[in-house]
Amino acid sequence: MNKIIVSLLLSTVVLLGSSKDQYSIKLHGITVGIISDFSTIDKGYLVGKPLGGLLSVLTPFDYYVIFEPNKKPNIKGKNKYKKDKYLLLDLIKQLENNQPTHKIFKKNHYEINMNCKNSICTYVRLNTKKQKSYNGYISFKDGILNEICDDESGICFKRVIK
C-alpha cells in the first residue's frame, strides 16, 4: 500500500513541476488533473489531462473538457465532457484583462457580484431561479491568474509554480 501512495505522489510531483504555466485541477481538495494553459478559454472551453498513476486507472479517458453551452469542442480521443454550469470560464474571462474593484454581471439565470481588492476577487453567484447564493474567490499573483475556487462545484484551478 505504501508503494502505491509513494508512486502516486512521485507521479504527481513530476507532472506538477514540468511547467510554470500549468494549473492543477482540484475537486473537493483532491488534485485530479492538469491544465497546461488557458489559451482555449476564448473559444469557450478548457482542456485538462487526468493525472497518471493510480488515478489514471479510475479515469479511463484522455482529457477533461469543460465547455460553455453551445461551444462543445470536438477533441480527438476518449474524453469526459462537462458543461460549465457554474460559469467559471465566464468569471475567468471577466477578469482576464483587468481586476475591477466591483462588477456585477448576469448570465443565464445567475447574477454574479464580484469585489476585488489587493489581487483577490471574491464573488457571490446568485441563482435567481432557486434564490440560492454561492461563494468563491479568484486570486492573482503578479497580474497572472493564480487560483480560482468555487464553493458550489468544489472545483479549484491553481497555478503550479516551478
In terms of pLDDT, which residue wins out, 100 or 25? Answer: 25
pLDDT classification of 141: cutoffs 50, 70, 90: confident
**pLDDT cut 70: percent of the chain above it:** 81
Structural domain spans, the chain: 2-159
Q: Inform me whether the pLDDT recorded for 143 exceeds 70.
A: yes
Task: Give residue-wise pLDDT tens across range 123-140.
Answer: 999 999 989 999 999 998
Angle at Cα 14 formed by Cα 88 and Cα 61, nearest 5°? 55
pLDDT at 12: 30
Specify the pTM.
0.75
- What are the distances in angstroms from CA 46 to CA 51, 75, 93, 111, 122? 16, 11, 12, 23, 22
Task: Give residue-wise pLDDT tens across range 10-58.
Answer: 333 332 233 357 899 998 888 888 998 788 998 999 999 888 666 666 6
The pLDDT of 88-98, averaged and rounded, is 81
Lowest mean pLDDT among 93-102, 108-117, 137-146: 93-102
- For residue 85, give the 3-state DSSP assignment: coil
Task: Give residue-wise pLDDT tens across range 47-59.
Answer: 998 886 666 666 6
Going by DSSP bridges, is the β-strand pair 120-127/132-141 parallel, antiparallel, or unpaired?
Answer: antiparallel
pLDDT at 112: 92
